[in-house]
Amino acid sequence: MSIRIILADDHAIVRHGLNRLFQQEEDVEIIAQAGDGRTSVELARELSPDVVVMDIGMPDLNGIEATRQITRESPKVKVIALSMHSGRKYVTEMFKAGASGCLLKNCDFEELADAVRIVAGGKTYISPSISDLVVQDYVRSSVEEDSAFSVLTRR
C-alpha cells in the first residue's frame, strides 16, 4: 500500500519537480497538486490523502491556515511543512496549526522522502536544520509556565 500525497506549493516548477522525484519512490503516490492554500484544503477534504506536503507562503490561503483547516477537518491527514522560511515564528505556527513535520526547501530530496514515511507512520519529523529553533521555543515556553514551586511564598 502506497503513501498517498498531495503536493501544495504556489510554484508549479517545485510541484512538478517533486512529483518527478516521488515517482521514483515505490511506496509513494502523488494523488493531486495544489497551487494555493484553498485548493489544498479542498483536495484534502475530497481525496483524504495520507500526507500533504505544504508550502507556508501561498496565495489565497497561506500554508499555516490551510494546515489548521486540514488537520481540524481531517485529523488523520498529516501535513509536512516544506518552506524556504526558517524563522522561528513560521516553524512554531506550523506546528501549532497541526503540522506533523517541517523541513526547509534547501534539504535533500531523500530527507523529504524519509520525512513523508516517518510522518505517515504516525511520528513527528523535524529537520535537523531547524531542530534548534523548536527546542529553544519549547524550553522557553516551559520555563515561562508556572511550576508547582512558583505558587509557593518565600516562607
Check which CATH number belongs to the domain holding 89 and give it.
3.40.50.2300
DSSP 6-26: EEE-S-HHHHHHHHHHHHT-T
**Predicted confidence band at 116 (pLDDT cuts at 50, 70, 90)?**
very high
pLDDT at 115 over 70: yes
pTM assigned to the model? 0.85
Q: Give how many domains the chain has, as a whole number.
A: 1
**Predicted confidence band at 141 (pLDDT cuts at 50, 70, 90)?**
low
Residue 14: CB partners within 8 Å, gap ≥ 6?
A: 55, 105
Quote the pLDDT of residue 8.
98
Contact 52, 5 (CB under 8 A): yes
Alpha-carbon distances, residue 20 vs 16, 17, 29, 125 (angstroms)? 6, 5, 11, 23
Q: What is the pLDDT of residues 27-83, one digit of tens each?
A: 999 999 999 999 999 999 999 999 999 999 999 999 999 999 999 999 999 999 998
The contacts found for 139-146 with CB under 8 angstroms, 24 or more apart, are none
Domain that holds residue 103: 3-151
Which grid cell is 23?
515517482
Neighbour tally for 55: CB within 10 Å: 26
The contacts found for 149-152 with CB under 8 angstroms, 24 or more apart, are none
